[in-house]
Structure 1
């Protein structure tokens, strides 16, 4: 295979992916504000910030051994408080509230250790019904960082998702804007899947053969060592396997139905575990979840080379969708909301994931259908693309399962 075909393959498979897609846990923080029933001028705040983000921003790992200790966090306590609170502004009815730190702790989330920064916000007026928040944490370092902000006053709650592209929010406790909360989480769900390269490659692996049909060749049974055209890989087989080849699908409608089954199966299963995890019913360690996602990508791509599941690809999507749902849920596990607000947040995020997923399908399917009869697609895209995805997923699996860093692979982390 010549270099030109390989370059064309890489362009086809990866050019339309988000330019800075990331396969690791996204940069998230959780900011909670509560009124003080004994002092109507004070808000109590708690800000959970991932230690990995703080280490990237200001440096916590003093001895550079890859492990951040409580002593190292304590030694940087003032730097953490200064870095975080300088990037947060709270106003009550337009008047600035003064922020002062009160305590700093460590808490374990499903995706690792977080610094828990507690602070008070002293406002000039009684705690107002309308609160303004300006959130700029990581704004100059990570364009995809987001902060989930919740404001609690008794039984009333308001919330928003903020980040570099939308750093401000106005939270109204008298009349919480559930629609804006819903749409902010829709946007968050879209970006979650668009910046999750592992989720994209899993879906892409399932879509690659959708415009082709695997048929048995007419030359009957072969003995000994054969070349399998469907995979392009030399296989030493002791028995007498039937010989198969990939052919272009004859119509758009069967292709559409096949894709619909795959996407629907993935949607159903990941929605189940997403909901169960966010509600606290199911919980698995982040390393196990992320390793399972890497394994799912590898299996889906490997099935394109050595098809074990030939007719019902949607079964792969359904089976592994459960583990992907737990991966999606990691974006919302820090939420502590009453039922109405949780429904808006969870529903909006799930809708956003589906919109992002459908956008990927709509971007890929028409081009793949047009190219399905070409040797470039059957060999370059399906074979080489699946091999590349297998290699990337295998490296992810090693890194995530054994917590090791592979030199030169940081771009795909």
Structure 2
């Protein structure tokens, strides 16, 4: 009995840990808006992991003073801090450091709007937590920053990856997999663009819950396939991928909206965020396809072994679904 309880506790701990990783590790966001020659409004959004708030903060040159401008406010998977930055010299050309960033796995997107309307965007990483602030962002900086954001979003978005993994396992034939992933890509690109540009919108919590439920559905389809029963996903994977892809696009949009877009380069940033998502997805599909190809050489896998991925994916997705539904009232 004690052994069973220990294993149950371990399993619940694993599920709890996975729930933190169900969403990607979202970047921190530092928005700086110049108010006049000496003052800047600063918004500092720090991501949270469960109940833990990352202990990172911005540090400017000694000629600038950062003072609190209101209480910190909790937001979805983050905490928002407002500051007033004051200095006698120009911000462009000065240095910025994110303290303790080296101790994390989080990137920081920095967006600055100057009094003359010029915008600058740059990305800081754990390996490069400091930078000299430019006066104006080049298009290449926007391309680079938002492509990286897109790649990180899909690689750290475990729920999105599990959905793609289940699709690949169910779909037989490389050409069919390509068509299926293309349908998924097209669908989430449509809703991502519509949502970010303000033409369509769905509340985040229900979207996240139904995304988890879509993975449960695919896990069920995998089990049916192993028992030789008709499966909608096996017969028309592109239709299932496109239908649920529309929903996943709203999930992608929620993450991008939280980070923000440079107002002068919205189409460019949106396009390359989407390209980044696709690049990350392509790498994942190739890696999984290669692993499945190697495993296919052993054709005498017992049925229970074939069912393991379906039950593992389904159990985890069911846990996420319940957790996210309960979150509606928390």
Instruction: Report what 2:10 is aligned to.
Output: none
Q: 2: distance between equivalents of 1:378 and 1:181?
A: 50
Shift of 1:340: 3.9
- What is the aligned counterpart of 1:88 among 15, 35, 58? 58
**Which is strand-richer, 1 or 2?**
1
Instruction: Report what 2:8 is aligned to.
Output: none
Shift of 1:354: 0.7
Instruction: Report what 1:331 is aligned to.
Output: 255
Contact 2:91 2:133 in 1 (8 A): no
Three-state SS of the structure 2 residue aligned to 1:333 is helix
Q: 2: distance between equivalents of 1:337 and 1:181?
A: 10
**Which is helix-richer, 1 or 2?**
2
Shift of 1:273: 1.4
Contact 2:40 2:85 in 1 (8 A): yes
Shift of 1:333: 0.8
Task: State the number of aligned residues.
Answer: 304
Contact 1:157 1:337 in 2 (8 A): no
Deviations 1:360-397 (A, max 9, x none): 11111123224335335684664221121111111111
Three-state SS of the structure 1 residue aligned to 2:183 is helix
Instruction: Report what 1:26 is aligned to.
Output: 25
Instruction: Report what 2:299 is aligned to.
Output: 375
Deviations 1:35-80 (A, max 9, x none): 223xx23222122345x4695148xxxxxxxxxxxxxxxxxxxxxx
Q: 1: distance between equivalents of 2:323 and 2:269?
A: 32
Q: 2: distance between equivalents of 1:47 and 1:288?
A: 27
Instruction: Report what 2:324 is aligned to.
Output: 400
Task: Map 1:8-157 to 2 at 5 A.
Answer: 22-24=21-23, 26-37=25-36, 40-49=37-46, 52=48, 55-57=51-53, 87-91=57-61, 96-104=63-71, 106=73, 108=75, 111=76, 115-125=79-89, 127-136=90-99, 139-140=102-103, 142-143=104-105, 145-153=106-114, 154-157=116-119
Q: 2: distance between equivalents of 1:165 and 1:323?
A: 34
Taking only aligned residues, the RMSD between alpha carbons, in angstroms, comes to 2.9
Contact 2:107 2:126 in 1 (8 A): yes
Contact 1:41 1:124 in 2 (8 A): yes
Shift of 1:296: 1.1
Contact 1:302 1:390 in 2 (8 A): yes
Q: 2: distance between equivalents of 1:271 and 1:115?
A: 28
Shift of 1:137: 6.0
Instruction: Report what 1:182 is aligned to.
Output: 143
313-322 vs 373-382, greater mean Cα deviation: 373-382
Q: 1: distance between equivalents of 2:19 and 2:205?
A: 22
Q: 2: distance between equivalents of 1:196 and 1:377?
A: 30
Unaligned runs of 5+ in 2: 1-17, 225-229
Three-state SS of the structure 2 residue aligned to 1:44 is strand
Task: Map 1:269-348 to 2 at 5 A.
Answer: 269-306=187-224, 307-309=230-232, 310-335=234-259, 337=261, 339-348=263-272
Q: CA, structure 1 residues 178+336, in 2 after alignment: closer, same or farther (shift >3 Å)?
A: same
186-195 vs 155-164, greater mean Cα deviation: 155-164
Q: 2: distance between equivalents of 1:293 and 1:398?
A: 12
Deviations 1:235-269 (A, max 9, x none): xxxxxxxxxxxxxxxxxxxx221111111011001
Instruction: Report what 1:206 is aligned to.
Output: 167
Q: CA, structure 1 residues 397+160, in 2 after alignment: closer, same or farther (shift >3 Å)?
A: same
Q: Normalization by structure 2: what TM-score?
A: 0.81
Unaligned runs of 5+ in 1: 1-18, 59-82, 212-254, 405-413
Q: 1: distance between equivalents of 2:49 and 2:310?
A: 33
- What is the aligned counterpart of 2:152 among 180, 187, 191? 191
